[in-house]
Amino acid sequence: MQDFRNLKVWHKAHTVTLDVYRRTAVFPKHEMFGLTSQMRRAAASIGANIAKGCGRDGDAELTRFLQIAMGSASELEYHLLLARDLELLNALECNRLNQEVTEVKRMLSALINSIRPERPANSRSKLHRD
Q: Is residue 124's pLDDT more than 90?
A: no
Distance of alpha carbon 127 from alpha carbon 25, whole angstroms: 37
Task: Calculate the dihedral angle through the C-alpha atoms of 38, 7, 51, 25, rounding to the nearest 10 degrees.
Answer: -30
Q: What does CATH list as the number for 4-116?
A: 1.20.1440.60
Q: What is the pTM of this model?
A: 0.87
Give per-residue pLDDT as tens, 29-48.
999 999 999 999 999 999 99
Return the pLDDT at 39: 98
Written as one letter, the residue type at 102 is T
Distance of alpha carbon 125 from alpha carbon 44, whole angstroms: 28
Contact 99, 67 (CB under 8 A): no
Looking at per-residue confidence, does 1 or 33 come out higher? 33
Return the pLDDT at 6: 94
Domain ranges for the chain: 4-116
Mean pLDDT of the residues in the chain: 91
Write out the E strands in the chain: none
Share of the chain above pLDDT 90, in %: 85
Give per-residue pLDDT as tens, 61-119.
999 999 999 999 999 999 999 999 999 999 999 999 999 999 999 999 999 999 876 55
